[in-house]
A = this chain, B = another copy of it.
């Protein structure tokens, strides 16, 4: 490892002079002659010097490292992380990962954030209890926390997410625009925050169109990864009894299951039934037929969360928590069509 001392020896000056040269404009008041400056720079290049960010951090009392704490399971998480990475890059920050997937406790993550002197934390977590713990422990150490995508709005922690209510409304407005009136709503039994907000969008759009949503048109299925008998029974029963002409599904996997059920029953999508999903996950474009869905700006969310967090870090003092809701976008594919007369 090449240090400033090595450069100093090579250039015939002291380590301190090397420091002054390499830190350039930052250190005001100390003048270095152009000749010396050039000689030092030349030696630094020649020896392949790169500064030791760790030693620098010890001295500065802070790092330019942000920690990401999340589950590490989902594919959209990767896209969000990519956005965070891009956002941090622009500010000269780097990213550390703490995934809570394999026996990694939140306590460990918090401890390591402190040990590594991270400048801030971005987390994606559905667990409110843990979030409060995280936030309390870290703000106590002066480490700001920011939630991204999956999070809970509160007045003590910033949050960047996409506008789920608007997304639900857009989806239903799309169906209304195609002439549908008997529009169903499909959610998972364990209603998370998303489902609730997207459902709100559904209700808002229906009401705005002068339609009072029929409660019977709402259906929920248990949360199961596969495609099980129970789900088949519920969805078939729903389609046969309620006969919706279109269904807004609050998540893509649900929409795909509805497609499977319709396929089983010989109900043609989009001819006899229009289906809208939510999230634009990988498989949405591969379903039969390719799914019309609401695309969330995962990368943008990550990028914005990163930028906001860096703002807080670089900002002067106490800050008001950021609360950003990014717009979503309809992706119209082949699972929705004009209502047949």
Contacts and interface: CB of A to CB of B under 8 A. Distances in A.
Interface of A: 1, 50-55, 57-58, 61, 63, 65, 68, 72-75, 77-79, 81-82, 85-86, 89, 94-99, 101-104, 108, 111-112, 114-117, 141, 225-227, 253, 256-257, 259-260, 263, 281-283, 285-288, 290
Contact of A54 (B58, B72, B104, B259): B58
A310 B115 CA distance: 20
Contacts of A227: 285-286, 290
Nearest to A97: B95
A77 to B, nearest CB: 6
B72 A89 contact: no
- Central interface residue in A72, A77, A78, A283, by most chain B CB within 10 Å: A78
A257 B282 contact: no
Nearest to A102: B86
A86 B111 contact: no
Given A82-B101, A260-B288, 8 more contacts: A1-B61, A55-B58, A74-B78, A85-B101, A94-B116, A226-B290, A227-B290, A259-B288
B99 A96 contact: no
Nearest to A283: B283
Contacts of A58: 52, 54-55, 58
A94 B51 CA distance: 21
B102 A82 contact: yes
23 contacts: A1-B141, A50-B111, A52-B117, A54-B54, A54-B57, A68-B97, A72-B82, A73-B82, A74-B78, A77-B78, A78-B81, A82-B101, A85-B98, A85-B104, A86-B101, A89-B108, A94-B96, A96-B96, A96-B97, A226-B285, A227-B285, A260-B288, A288-B288
Given A57-B54, A227-B286, A99 B73 contact: no
Q: Which 5 interchain pairs have the tightest Cβ spacing?
A: A283-B283, A75-B75, A86-B102, A72-B82, A78-B78
Contacts of A81: 72, 78, 97, 99
Given A95-B97, A96-B96, A85 B72 contact: yes
Contact of A286 (B53, B63, B256): B256
Contacts of A94: 96-98, 112, 116
Given A72-B81, A227-B290, A286-B283, A96 B98 contact: no
Contacts of A95: 96-98
